[in-house]
Amino acid sequence: MPRGKEKSNKSIRRTKMKRTIMILAAIVLFLGLSQCKKQTSGVLEESVEITLDVSANKGSRIDVNTANGTVSFEYGDVVYVGSGGKFVGTLICRGTNFRGQIINATLGEPLCFFFLGNKTPEETLTEGTSTTCSVNISDQTSKLPVISFATSDQDFTGEGTYTAFFLNKAALVKFDVTSTTDIVPTEIHGMKNKVTVDFATCGFVYSQEGNGTITLPAGSGEKWAILLPQYEVPGSTGFTNDGWFYVTCATVSAIGVNEYVSDGISVDFTEAYVDLGLPSGVLWAKCNVGADTPEGYGDYFAWGETSTKSSYNWITYQYSNLNTNGYDILTKYCQEPSIGYNGYTDNLTILLPEDDAVTANRGHGWRMPTEAEFQELYDNTIVSWTTQNGVNGKLFTAVNGNSLFLPATGNLSFDGNLYNVGYVGTYWSSSLNTDAPLGAWYLNFDANGFYIDSYDRCAGLSVRAVHSAR
């Protein structure tokens, strides 16, 4: 073969090799640039594991025993991570730091961390989609649900370790609980007990859910509680959650983020019942349902109904229909086929718990008294007409020296008006008049006497609670 031809073929092969190398280099360079671009901007779509370092004094939280102390995070605590205005995952405390998987985090921006006191969000959170979450901090019987927030000290670049300093976003208040005995968990009402996290703004919104209950641990003495920032809350009176004690709470001053009320807010407990030493052992509540003092009239109920209303008559009565002849037709608690809907009868002569206004409003074994228990009250006490704190009523004084006051509450009649207030007391029993089921037995008294009689079930009368024993 001629030498010139051989040289020409080698040159061609070298050219092809160079071209191949250049193409491969271009591909590698392109992939490298693409990978570099993916790591420096945009959203990192794959799941990565990150570590959040809160050691070296970065785990500051409110202490339950001091006004300004700090405690470390506990093993198993959960932190919710936000990025790019959305939820991207959770981290779990493993002792000295938090670790976990996040997805759809925005590269080049700081991560946001939210500690919600290990309360489970009310919403189901989806990484990369959810923009808010909320929790209710009502139950504080086991530990305080401290609300905290932090941002990372450096921008997110992918898998790695980030540091943050948590700031408390709720106030600590000390309640001075006044009681001579151990008590069940204490309920304070009217508080902002719900916090909503906005991942887009890294902000918090505080609100009231339900009646704004904050439940403190059982036992007397000092207690600490987390209250979300709010305006002044006026003093209130309510029951402990088993109904045995009235709870009177002093005014809660206006509080802000991270504020402390270390001087304390007084919470007084008074027994909600009177033990008259009756043969049956029945205990009588000190106040009517809907009242917080013995002289308060409280609410008025139709027999068998558990909530108040504006009109009390057969048309509005829960357990009646009206037939074409205009007769009242009963749909529950009826012993007479002639007045039962389509001849309806049942064997119910005492209100069931779901139809008892006392049980519905106080619960935990409290109920309306029976006809026989009204009679027992009269037979075992000295009964007198009296005026107590400017209110007329009957005073029942037992041999053991304890007494019970029933105010003359009057009654709500068919026309919706209140009659005989201050002159007559009318109180439902839980007993049906089986001879005339349109009526139920009730206590009726005035300055001259004490009577147990039957009254139309649709009328609005007062209710006093009893309990079989403590």
Please write the tens of the pLDDT for every residue from 6-15. 444 544 444 4
Residue 34 has a pLDDT of 41
Sign of CA dihedral 413, 418, 424, 428: positive
Residue 131 in tokens: 């923009």
Name the residue type at position 140: Q
Residue 56 has a pLDDT of 54
Query: Global pTM?
Result: 0.65
CA distance 217 to 215: 7
3-state secondary structure of 99: strand
Cα-Cα-Cα-Cα dihedral of 119, 120, 122, 123, to 10°? 140
Residue 185 has a pLDDT of 77
Give the residues of the chain that fall short of pLDDT 50: 1-8, 10-17, 20-39, 64-65, 67-69, 324
Beta strands, E only, 179-259: 186-188, 194-198, 203-207, 214-216, 221-227, 236-239, 245-249
What pLDDT, in 10s, does the model give residues 254-289? 988 888 887 888 888 888 899 999 999 999 999 999
Beta strands, E only, 182-316: 186-188, 194-198, 203-207, 214-216, 221-227, 236-239, 245-249, 260-271, 273-274, 283-288
